[in-house]
A and B are shown apart, each in its own frame.
Chain A
Amino acid sequence: GQQLNQSPQSMFIQEGEDVSMNCTSSSIFNTWLWYKQEPGEGPVLLIALYKAGELTSNGRLTAQFGITRKDSFLNISASIPSDVGIYFCAGHPVTDSWGKFQFGAGTQVVVTP
């Protein structure tokens, strides 16, 4: 399966700092999803985006569906220690079959007090 380009691969930040990560592809997408995975758990949905240009917030998290429909970003503001985890983007290409999402390789976020 194809993989999205997600960057950065990892981030080591201090508590209170903002975090930004993004995913890009050469394909056009009709849905972007952002998940967080903590050790020993399954990915948990954070934000879902369905329209180009859409900007959606979930608490301190904000994500946008890129206007070209080929990218998306996720921002975390004022990070706290419990933000630690791996953040995955997932996108559904318009040309692909039912439910066949592509996933990024993940961004490992480490927050130090």
Chain B
Amino acid sequence: DTAVSQTPKYLVTQMGNDKSIKCEQNLGHDTMYWYKQDSKKFLKIMFSYNNKELIINETVPNRFSPKSPDKAHLNLHINSLELGDSAVYFCASSHGMETQYFGPGTRLLVL
């Protein structure tokens, strides 16, 4: 009965490949987020969707494309992966602007 789940937990891939990360929440929240955590543990917001509408789109390369098929799901597709994309990607969800609950993370390693 995990609240916010992500798949896969680990992702190792070659430079130039395209990959997707999936996120699902069963909390009934209407807002979902993608964060990137770098090697220094700094959490930086990338995107946010409210009721399937993109509301936060930070300065992120356009190789990153989020997609929200419904309120409970927010996926992240990354094209032409680069070495610098290696990081931990966290999905989170909230009810409106309230407290955000995080998923377990996807550890991406680009070789």
Which A residues have a C-beta under 8 Å from some C-beta of B?
1, 3, 31, 33, 35, 37, 40-45, 48, 86, 88, 90, 92, 97-101, 103, 105-106
Contacts and interface: CB of A to CB of B under 8 A. Distances in A.
B103 to A, nearest CB: 5
A44 B101 CA distance: 7
A100 B90 CA distance: 15
Given A1-B45, A42-B104, A99-B96, 14 more contacts: A1-B44, A1-B58, A3-B42, A41-B104, A43-B43, A43-B90, A44-B102, A90-B100, A98-B48, A98-B97, A99-B56, A99-B97, A100-B45, A100-B56
B41 A106 contact: yes
A35 B94 CA distance: 15
Contact of A42 (B41, B44, B56, B90): B90
A5 B31 CA distance: 27
Contacts of B33: 99
Interface in B37-69: 40-45, 48, 50, 55-56, 58
- For chain B, which range describes its interface: under 10, 10 to 19, 20 to 34, or 35 or more residues? 20 to 34
A63 B105 CA distance: 26
B64 to A, nearest CB: 15
Contacts of B104: 40-42
Contact of B99 (A3, A33, A88, A97): A33
A44 B103 CA distance: 9
Contacts of A43: 43, 90, 102
A101 B99 CA distance: 10
